[in-house]
A and B are shown apart, each in its own frame.
Chain A
Amino acid sequence: MSARSSTAHSVVEPSSTSKLVASVLVVVYALVTMIPLFWIVVTSLKSPPDSISYPPKIVFTPTIEGYCNLFTNQTRQTPEFLATLPPATTACEKVTRERNMVIVGPSNFTKRFFNSLVIAFGSTALSVFLGTIAAYGFSRFKVPLKDDLLFFILSTRMMPPIAVAIPIYLMYRELGLSDTKIGMILLYTAVNVSLAVWLLKGFIDEIPREYEEAAMIDGYTRLQAFRKVVLPQATTGIVATAIFCMIFAWNEYAFAVLLTSGDAQPAPPFIPTIIGEGGMDWPAVGAGTTLFLIPILVFTILLRKHLLRGITFGAVRK
């Protein structure tokens, strides 16, 4: 491609005018789609009155109030009572005192965020483990009804979540798995393992069989060859798959809202329930949303080369 761009008379290379027009249109589209995300971050830094002012404020004094409201529970107190308190020590205390409020304790956000982390990491580890060995099995051995099994695996991911949730709800109630992290981890693993098998099969198919065969001739068993030859070669694929599984589990909402209510509830069903005094506390919601989205942003940038593969179950590679 680089050779082509240097040949000025190539018929395929777009003209510089068309490049310019294309770049302008693309940049405009990109900037427009970034507005909602930009607004989430901006709102998280506003005070509640600033967040609901008309016209919407672009210039304002940033405050950490949103983040304070997100992480703490507060009660309103009289100025007389506030005067009796020892001076505020933390930044959040100072901000809340100005509004005649006192911090009474941490909010549930930290717990929900932690639940999200545990469930995402747990289900990712499990589905990548299961997916890797199953993908190796499908990639290297003659398995009867292979195509049917692979289709079956993929089709489980296509099921509407609410339809699955009805029997799962009843089953978990019987088994005592309702509102437990283990229950959610198993459920997300079942959803993710299909993606993991399909993606990893693609990655493992690309590793030449000759490597393992050479190792086996030299005295490795099949399992050793798998561990010491195939796995190191598949690292990129495994990491990319893990990030995809992680993103799904992190973002999932339907199962979470129907099957968890307290102990095991992750962040997505919790963030919409954040309310302040007299209506939605949009800066706090913005703060929660910002913190929730940052990991995904990082992962998206890390994944950008493998995104196409991930979203097409490994079918489209480049």
Chain B
Amino acid sequence: MTGNHIPDALANRLATATPPKLAARVRGLSDKAIAWLFITPTMILLLAINIFPLIWTIRLSFTDFRANRTNAVVKGIGLDNYTSILTDPDIWAAMQSTAHFVFWTITMQTLIGFTLAYLLDRKFRGHGFWTTIILIPMMLSPAVVGNFWRFLYQPQIGLFNYIISFFTGVDPSSFEMIGSVTLAPWSIIIVDTWMWTPYVMLICLAGLRSIPDYIYEAAEVDRASTWRQFWSITIPMALPFIMLAVLFRGIENFKMFDMVNLLTSGGPGSTTEVASITLKREAFEKWRTGFSSAFAIILFVTVFGLANIYVKALNQVKSR
């Protein structure tokens, strides 16, 4: 924070202000007491809204409970839910769709995002302004914007199809981004890439800016080519940041729900049915609460593992 003037102002205030009466009463609070007083409310909230439900989910995952039949007798069925998930071809299909989605979104976002960051790092006039403009899509609601993309993807009247046909000459009503089995997975990848490339770009930019100039100067003295400098200085030095972005996007896209739910709702058929959509269908449409709880636990464990790696990466970047 700024301001060397603060201590002066403080001294003035301290000189005039006498501590109020209430303060005398709390003066007795030890630092330890304050620490707990400050941290406990957050912990209680998280225990009530995250941990307690999590434990409940674990319990339900061993039963055949259905949330729409509260009067039915609930039977404990041991690990049956888990074994049927691991042998369910629909679940495996969903995991495959998720993997396809995560792989391609991350690949495209990293390539485009890093390139943009590299270009912005040329520090041309107005780069600050254009950075802000580029960042806008990632701040918007994926659901509300995803919903509007349905309009852009309309075969005859949609702007997306029109632009594609304008540049390639294909008939704009000859392809359906959302309705076709082959194109639908790409329709969600395009929207996600449009939305989240700025995220990767912003973090890569921070990575590029963290490389001190003297390293390039030294390379220049050694007559290293630009190409060589790029591969042996720029990429390795920016790598922790790129990894951070990749990991975070990986976690987020692994649990992707809102944009996909509005754009394709998993369709056509189940071609874009990523894990969260399957989970929603099992839990809130088929009402197989026990089964979906077990699936939720499996997703939890996966995300938790990824989050663990993510925090390690964060701390690594932080210590730089």
Chain A residues within 8 Å of B10, by CB: 211, 214-215, 229
- Cross-chain contact B143 with A300 (CB below 8 angstroms): no
- Does residue B270 face the partner (Cβ distance < 8 Å to A)? no
- Whether A282 and B45, one on each chain, are in contact in the complex, defined by CB atoms closer than 8 angstroms, is no
Counting CB contacts under 8 A, is A308 at the interface?
A: yes
Q: Hey, which chain B residues are within 8 Å of A254, CB to CB? A: 257-258, 261, 276
Closest residue of A by beta carbon distance from B220: A11
Q: Which of A190, A292, A318 has the most CB of B within 10 A?
A: A190
- Is B269 part of the contact surface with A, judged by Cβ < 8 Å? no
In this assembly, does A98 line the interface, its C-beta being within 8 Å of a C-beta of chain B? no
Determine the distance from Cα of A52 to Cα of B254 in the docked complex, in whole angstroms.
35
- Give Cα A171–Cα B53 distance, bound, in whole angstroms: 8
The CA of A318 and the CA of B132, in the complex, are separated in Å by 15
- Is residue B126 contacting chain A, with contact meaning CB distance below 8 A? yes
The answer to whether B132 and A301 have CB atoms under 8 Å apart is yes
Does A125 sit within 8 A of B, measured CB to CB?
Answer: no
Asked if A315 is at the interface (CB within 8 A of a chain B CB), the reply is yes
Total interface residues in chain A, CB < 8 Å: 120
User: Which of chain B's residues have a CB closer than 8 A to the CB of A308?
Assistant: 202-203, 205-206
Are B19 and A141 touching (Cβ within 8 A)?
Answer: no
A88: interface (CB < 8 Å): no
Contact A300 B148 (CB under 8 A): no
The segment from A73-81, A99-107, A161-169 that touches chain B is: A161-169
Stretch from B87-95, B174-182, B310-318 contacting the other chain: B310-318
Task: Establish whether residues A169 and B140, one from each chain, have CB atoms under 8 Å apart when the complex forms.
Answer: no
User: Which of B78-86, B102-110, B117-125 makes up part of the contact surface?
Assistant: B117-125
- Asked whether any CB of chain B lies closer than 8 Å to the CB of A122, the reply is no
Interface contact A253-B258, CB-CB below 8 Å:
yes
For chain B, residues 204 to 245, give those with C-beta under 8 angstroms from any C-beta of chain A. Answer: 205-206, 209, 213, 216-217, 220, 241, 244
Report whether A251 and B142 are in contact in the complex, using a CB–CB cutoff of 8 Å. Answer: yes
Q: Map CB proximity to B onto A285-301 as digits: 1 under 8 Å, 0 otherwise.
A: 11001001100110111
| Chain B stretch 25-73: residues in CB contact (< 8 A) with chain A | 26-27, 29, 31-32, 34-39, 41-43, 45-46, 48-50, 52-54, 56-57, 60, 67
User: Which residues of A5-47 are within 8 A (CB) of B?
Assistant: 5, 11-12, 14, 18-20, 22-23, 25-27, 29-30, 33-37, 39-40, 43
Whether, in the assembled complex, B100 has its beta carbon less than 8 Å from a beta carbon of chain A, the answer is no
Contacts of B124 in A (CB 8 A): 19-20, 22-23, 26
* Contact residues in A for B156 (Cβ distance below 8 Å): 54
Give the docked Cα–Cα distance between A35 and B211 (Å). 34
Residues in chain B near residue A141, CB distance under 8 A: 31-32, 34-35
Of B49, B57, B130, the residue contacting A166 (CB under 8 A) is: B57
| Interfacial chain B residues near A71, Cβ < 8 Å | none
Contacts of B261 in A (CB 8 A): 253-254, 257
Using Cβ atoms and an 8 Å threshold, which residues of chain B touch A54?
156-157, 162, 172
Closest to A19 in B: B124
Distance between Cα atoms of A211 and B10 in the complex (Å): 9
Contacts of A95 in B (CB 8 A): none
B145 within 8 A of A: yes
A71–B95 alpha-carbon span in the complex (Å): 41
Contacts of A55 in B (CB 8 A): 162
List A contacts of B139 (CB < 8 A). 247, 296-297, 299-300
Q: Does A233 sit at the interface, judged by CB under 8 A?
A: yes
What separation, in Å, do the CA atoms of A315 and B130 have in the docked complex?
Answer: 24
Partner of A258, one of B127, B284, B307: B284
Q: What is the chain A residue whose CB lies nearest that of B221?
A: A11
By a CB distance below 8 angstroms, the chain A residues around B125 are 19, 23
Report yes or no: B279 in contact with A163, Cβ–Cβ below 8 A: yes
Q: Which of B6, B122, B206, B213 contacts A4 (CB 8 A)?
A: B213
Extra A-B contacts (17), CB below 8 Å, given A56-B157, A137-B36, A186-B49: A23-B130, A36-B148, A36-B149, A36-B159, A56-B159, A140-B35, A162-B283, A166-B283, A167-B52, A190-B46, A251-B140, A268-B141, A304-B135, A307-B202, A311-B202, A311-B248, A312-B317
Interface CB pairs A-B, < 8 A, 21 = A26-B116, A52-B154, A134-B41, A152-B46, A153-B42, A154-B307, A158-B251, A160-B303, A162-B257, A162-B296, A166-B289, A167-B53, A168-B53, A189-B49, A211-B10, A268-B144, A269-B143, A296-B139, A311-B248, A316-B206, A318-B209
